[in-house]
Chain A
Amino acid sequence: MNQPTDNTTSISLVLAGSGGSGVITAGNMLLAAAAKAGWYGLMTRSAGPQIRGGEAAALLRLSSEPVSAQPDRYDLIIALDWLNFERFADEIPLDKDTVIIGDASAAKKTPAFVTEGPARRGDIDFKSMSKAIPGGRPNMIALGTIGALIGLPEDALDAALSDALAKRGEDAIAASRAGAEAGRAIAAEMPATPKLPTPEGEKAGRWLISGNEAAGLGAIRGGVRFVAAYPITPATEILEWMSPALTKVGGVLVQAEDELASINMAIGGSYGGVPALTATSGPGLALMTEAIGLAVASEVPVVIVDVMRGGPSTGIPTKSEQSDLNMALYALPGDAPHIVVAPNSIRDCVFTTQWSVHLAEAMQTPAIVLSDQALGQAKSVIAAPADIAFFAQRETATTPAEGEEYQRYAVTASGVSPMAVPGTPGCAYTADGLEHNPRGTPSGGAKDHHIQLDKRQRKTDDFDYGQHWADQAGEGDTVVLTWGSCTGPVLEALDNLAGTEQSARMVSMRLLMPAPKEQLANALEGAKRVIVVEQTHSGQFMGYLRANIDLPKNVEHHCTPGPLPIRPGDIETLIKEGTPS
C-alpha cells in the first residue's frame, strides 16, 4: 500500500451500512453542508450488487481546495453495522491514524481486518441511542458525530439536513436534528480525528453536481434537444436528470425499448434537424455499434455518451473501469471515421459533452463520449464551468436555384456537405447506409466508394480541434500520459511533487479519435521519461498510443483494472521510484 500523502488540506471519511440505513442520504447531507460552509468536496459511492438492502458506503473527501481524486487513506470510518463490511476492505485504505467507529451492540461482528488492523477504535451504541429518540435513526447520529469530529459547523449541517428533508415535513426534520445532536454529544468520547482546514475563497460561483448531471447539462448547453435511451447503470442519472430538464427547454426524452432503438431514434431525430443524444454503458454501446456505423455512412450527427463500468459482459455494473476504449474506437463495421472524446473530471463532463455536440454537428458524424462510473456517479463541489461558445452549428442546405440540383453528399474541400432539413423544398434526398454517389444514389462502384471514404475521412482529419485535444499541466521532463478519470489522481500527484526534483508534467488526452498524432508528438518532445497511466487490465490505451505515435523504448506503464480507483499516492510512488519490475 502507498505511503500516506500530505493530507493536511483534506479530510477523508467513509460512512458505511446495510441498505436502507441511509448512509448515502447522510453522505449527501455532509457534502451539501460542507459545500454551504465553503469547502470543496467529492463524494463517491460504493454499493454491493443488491438492488435494495445491500451494503452501501459513502466515501467523502472534503478540502479547502478543489478535490480531483479519491484519497490515499481515510481519517475516519463509521460503520452503522458490520453487514458485509469486509466487501469494502480493498476500497478503504486504513492506517494507524484512521479512526474506526462501529456499532457497540454488534461489536462481536467486527470483521477481522478491522480488529486486527492498525486503526484506532471507538464504539457508539447507534441502536439504543436512536431508539431513545422518537423517529430517530442511526445515520443521523453518525452525521452529528462526524460533524463534531471534523469540525463542520453545526448551522451548515442543520441547513443541509432541513433542505434534504423538507419534503418529509417538520417531524422528520426535528427527529433528525435530535439524532444529530445526540451524535454530536457523544463525539467527545471518541478518538480525535484531524479537523477540516479553514475554508478558502468564496462559495459563490461554485456548483454541487455529479458527473452524470454535468454531462447532461453540457449536452443541453451544446444544443441537444432530443434524447432517446434505455436505462443502464451507471448512466441512468444522465437520463433522469435530462428528462425534466429537456421538457423545460423545449426538448424531449423518449424511453426506448432497447439500445438498438435508442440509437436509431436519436439518429432519426437528428436527421429531422434536432441535435440528438443517447447515453448508455458498455453493454448498450455494444448493441449500438451497427447504427453508429449508419450515422457515419449517412452523415448524421449524433452524440453517444458511454459511462463505462467494469467489463466484459455485465461485468461490475456499479464500479468504474476504462475498458470500453477499444470498443469506442474500433467496433464499427468498415472504415468509419467518427469522434471519440473523454472528459477528465466531473467539471469537464460539462465541457467535453458540450464540445462533442459541437463536433458531431460541425462534422455531421457520430461522437462517442467516454465517461465512467467514477466521474458519472460521483458528486463534487466545483468552480462553475464557464459556458464556452460551442453550440450545435450544422451546415444546412437551402432550396437550390432553378436548374440546379441539390447533392446531399457533394464532395467538398472540408468533406462537410450542406445537410437538408426535411421540409426544405427542392432538397428531398434519401439518407443511406448503402455506399452512394454525391447525390445519394446507392452505388457499389469502386470510384464512388473511394471518393466518399476520402470525403468522410477528411471531415474528421482536417478539423481544427484547437487546444482542446488535451489538458496539460505541470513542468519537467517526465511526462505522465493519461486520459479520463485517471487524470484527477495524476494531477494531485503532480501537485504534491511540484517544485521538487521529481516535478513532472501531464498530458491528459480529451480527443482520442481521430488520434491527434502531431499534437501528441509535439507534447512529448524532449520527454526523458514517459509514464502511461490507465485503468484497464489489457493496456488498451497503451495499444492505442503505440498504434499512433512512436513512444520511447523505456516507456513506463501503470495499468490496473477497476474497480479500485487509481490513487494519487500510486502515481507519486511511480514517479519517484519507477515502475516495479
Chain B
Amino acid sequence: MTAETALAPKHSPRDYKSDIKPVWCPGCGDYSVLGSITKAFSELNLDPENVAVISGIGCSSRIPAYTDCYGFHGVHGRSLPLAAGLKVARPDMTVLVASGDGDGFSIGGNHFMHACRRNVDLTYVVMDNRVYGMTKGQASPTTEPDWDNALTPGGSGISPFRPLVIALAAGANFIARGFSGDQNGTAKLLKEAIEHPGFSFVQILSPCVTFRPDQKTWKDDVHDAAVDPTDEIGRAARRLMTDDGFNTGVLYKGEREAFQPPIGEATATVADLEGKFAL
C-alpha cells in the first residue's frame, strides 16, 4: 500500500458513478456490486480518468456505462482479452473487468484460463448468479444440475464446475470470493484485489432475484472464511476444492510477477529496421 492511500480520499464513490440509470431488475445483486466497485476506487484514491472498466455482455456486464470511468462494453465473453490489450498497451491505467458466470465461464472460458496463466495486472470481477439473466433464465456452468428451466427442462444434468479451482490451477495470482449482500466487505476484497499485482480473480455471489428467487437464502448461507489467505498452492487447492462455495474472503494470494512487456522504449528507428532489407 502506498502512502497516498492512507490519506483521506479525495474522491467519493459518487465521483465514479454515471448518471445513466441501470437496466437491472429492482433487487438485483449487481446494484450492490456497482456500489462496492465505486467504493473501492474511492478508497484507493484513483482518478476516474485513470481507471477503465471493461466488460462483455450480460446483465452484470452492463456495469461500465454506470461508472464515470473510461469503459468498454465489448462482445459476449471477450472482456478479458479486450482488457489485457488495454493494460499491456497502457500499463498506467487501472483496469477492472466485470463479467457474469455465462460471459466469463462459458463463452469466455478459454480466455479465463489464459488470463489466469498470462497474469496481466487485471482485477476480474465475476458476478455469479448461477444463471443467464440477460437471456432470461438458462443454466450456466455454475448452475446446479437439477435446476429446472425452459431450455433444459428438469435441469441440465451437468455438474457445475468450480471456477476458483480452475483459476488456481491456471495460475491466477489472487483468488477471493465475496457476496453482493455485503457491500463493504466486497469493497474491501476489491480494494485488495486491485492492489495485488498480476491477475486477481474475485467471484461475487450476486443473486438474480428474477430468475433465481431461491437465491434469497444466500444471505444465510455465506460465511467468512475460517482461515487467512494462503500463498501455498497445495493448501489453497484443497481448500477451494472442498469448500461449500459460500465461504467469503481472500482465499489465495500468490507471488508471481505480473506479465507486462516493456512498451514505449525505442532502441532503434524504423530506418534501422529497413536497413536489414537493403542490398
Binding site for B on A (CB under 8 A): 35-36, 203-204, 206-209, 213, 217, 220-221, 225-226, 228, 245, 247-252, 254, 256-258, 260-262, 264-274, 276, 290-291, 293-294, 298, 381, 384, 387, 420, 422-434, 440-442
B73 is an interface residue with CB less than 8 A from chain A: yes
Q: Can you identify 20 A-B contacts, CB atoms within 8 angstroms? A: A35-B279, A204-B279, A217-B270, A220-B270, A226-B89, A248-B273, A250-B266, A252-B262, A260-B77, A265-B85, A267-B82, A268-B87, A290-B75, A425-B49, A427-B49, A428-B68, A430-B72, A432-B65, A432-B72, A440-B65
Q: Which residues of B contact A228 (CB under 8 A)?
A: 81, 85
Q: Which residues of A contact B87 (CB under 8 A)?
A: 268
Q: Which residues of A contact B71 (CB under 8 A)?
A: 428-431
Cα–Cα distance between A539 and B91 once the two chains are bound (Å): 47
Q: Which residues of A contact B68 (CB under 8 A)?
A: 428
Q: Which residues of A contact B72 (CB under 8 A)?
A: 268, 271, 298, 430-432
Cα–Cα distance between A276 and B86 once the two chains are bound (Å): 11
Instruction: Select A384's contact among B92, B111, B264, B278, beta carbons within 8 Å.
Output: B278
B70 is an interface residue with CB less than 8 A from chain A: yes
Instruction: Select A221's contact among B20, B268, B270, B277, beta carbons within 8 Å.
Output: B270
Q: Which residues of A contact B209 (CB under 8 A)?
A: none
Q: Which residues of B contact A204 (CB under 8 A)?
A: 279
Are A265 and B81 within 8 A (Cβ)?
Answer: yes
Are A428 and B70 within 8 A (Cβ)?
Answer: yes
- Looking at chain B, what size class is its interface with the partner chain? 35 or more
List 19 additional contacts besides A272-B90, A430-B71; criterion CB under 8 Å. A206-B278, A207-B274, A226-B88, A248-B266, A250-B266, A252-B88, A257-B113, A261-B81, A265-B85, A268-B81, A268-B85, A270-B85, A274-B263, A428-B70, A428-B71, A430-B73, A431-B72, A433-B74, A442-B65
Instruction: Select B73's contact among A250, A269, A431, beta carbons within 8 Å.
Output: A431
Are B64 and A430 within 8 A (Cβ)?
Answer: yes
Q: Which residues of B contact A250 (CB under 8 A)?
A: 263-267
Q: Determine how close the nearest CB of chain A comes to the CB of B65; give it in whole angstroms.
A: 4
Q: Which residues of A contact B110 (CB under 8 A)?
A: 257-258, 260-261
Are B90 and A273 within 8 A (Cβ)?
Answer: yes
Q: Which residues of A contact B96 (CB under 8 A)?
A: none
Kindly report which residue of chain B lies nearest to residue A439, judged by CB atoms: B20
Are B90 and A274 within 8 A (Cβ)?
Answer: yes
Given A252-B263, A430-B72, A430-B73, A271 and B279 touching (CB < 8 A)?
no
Q: Determine how close the nearest CB of chain A comes to the CB of B83; give it in whole angstroms.
A: 6
Cα–Cα distance between A426 and B49 once the two chains are bound (Å): 7
Q: Determine how close the nearest CB of chain B comes to the CB of A371; give it in whole angstroms.
A: 17
Q: Which residues of B contact A267 (CB under 8 A)?
A: 74, 82, 85
Are A264 and B82 within 8 A (Cβ)?
Answer: yes
Are A248 and B272 within 8 A (Cβ)?
Answer: yes
Instruction: Select A217's contact among B48, B261, B268, B274, beta carbons within 8 Å.
Output: B274
B189 is an interface residue with CB less than 8 A from chain A: no
B52 is an interface residue with CB less than 8 A from chain A: yes
Kindly report which residue of chain A lies nearest to residue B117, judged by CB atoms: A257
Q: Which residues of A contact B80 (CB under 8 A)?
A: 261
B144 is an interface residue with CB less than 8 A from chain A: no
Given A264-B74, A269-B86, A422 and B272 touching (CB < 8 A)?
no
Are B277 and A208 within 8 A (Cβ)?
Answer: yes
Q: Determine how close the nearest CB of chain B comes to the CB of A31; give it in whole angstroms.
A: 11
B177 is an interface residue with CB less than 8 A from chain A: no
Q: Which residues of B contact A298 (CB under 8 A)?
A: 72, 74
Q: Which residues of B contact A387 (CB under 8 A)?
A: 270
Q: Determine how close the nearest CB of chain B comes to the CB of A267; give it in whole angstroms.
A: 6
B152 is an interface residue with CB less than 8 A from chain A: no
Q: Which residues of B contact A217 (CB under 8 A)?
A: 270, 273-274, 277
Are B82 and A249 within 8 A (Cβ)?
Answer: no
Are A208 and B279 within 8 A (Cβ)?
Answer: yes
Kindly report which residue of chain A lies nearest to residue B69, judged by CB atoms: A428
Cα–Cα distance between A270 and B111 once the two chains are bound (Å): 19
Are B20 and A268 within 8 A (Cβ)?
Answer: no
Q: Which residues of A contact B250 (CB under 8 A)?
A: none
Q: Determine how close the nearest CB of chain B comes to the CB of A67; give it in whole angstroms.
A: 15
Q: Determine how close the nearest CB of chain B comes to the CB of A375; give it in whole angstroms.
A: 16
Are B268 and A433 within 8 A (Cβ)?
Answer: no
Are B277 and A209 within 8 A (Cβ)?
Answer: yes
Given A36-B279, A422-B70, A431-B71, A266 and B85 touching (CB < 8 A)?
yes
Q: Which residues of B contact A266 (CB under 8 A)?
A: 85
Q: Determine how close the nearest CB of chain A comes to the CB of B17; give it in whole angstroms.
A: 12
Q: Determine how close the nearest CB of chain B comes to the CB of A391; give it in whole angstroms.
A: 10
B191 is an interface residue with CB less than 8 A from chain A: no
Indicate the member of B86, B110, B113, B274 with the most A CB atoms within 10 Å.
B86
Indicate the member of B20, B69, B279 with the most A CB atoms within 10 Å.
B279
Are B90 and A422 within 8 A (Cβ)?
Answer: yes
Cα–Cα distance between A426 and B50 once the two chains are bound (Å): 11
Kindly report which residue of chain A lies nearest to residue B66, judged by CB atoms: A430
Cα–Cα distance between A298 and B49 once the two chains are bound (Å): 19
Indicate the member of A203, A264, A420 with the most B CB atoms within 10 Å.
A264
Q: Determine how close the nearest CB of chain A comes to the CB of B91; give it in whole angstroms.
A: 10
Kindly report which residue of chain B lies nearest to residue A206, judged by CB atoms: B279
Cα–Cα distance between A271 and B93 once the two chains are bound (Å): 12
Kindly report which residue of chain A lies nearest to residue B271, judged by CB atoms: A387
Given A35-B279, A271-B72, A431-B71, A248 and B85 touching (CB < 8 A)?
no
Are B47 and A425 within 8 A (Cβ)?
Answer: yes
B239 is an interface residue with CB less than 8 A from chain A: no
Given A221-B270, A248-B268, A264-B78, A272 and B279 touching (CB < 8 A)?
no
Are A269 and B52 within 8 A (Cβ)?
Answer: no
List 6 tightest A-B contacts by C-beta distance, closest first: A268-B85, A265-B85, A430-B71, A250-B266, A269-B89, A261-B81
B84 is an interface residue with CB less than 8 A from chain A: yes
Kindly report which residue of chain A lies nearest to residue B268, judged by CB atoms: A248
Q: Which residues of A contact B270 (CB under 8 A)?
A: 217, 220-221, 249, 387
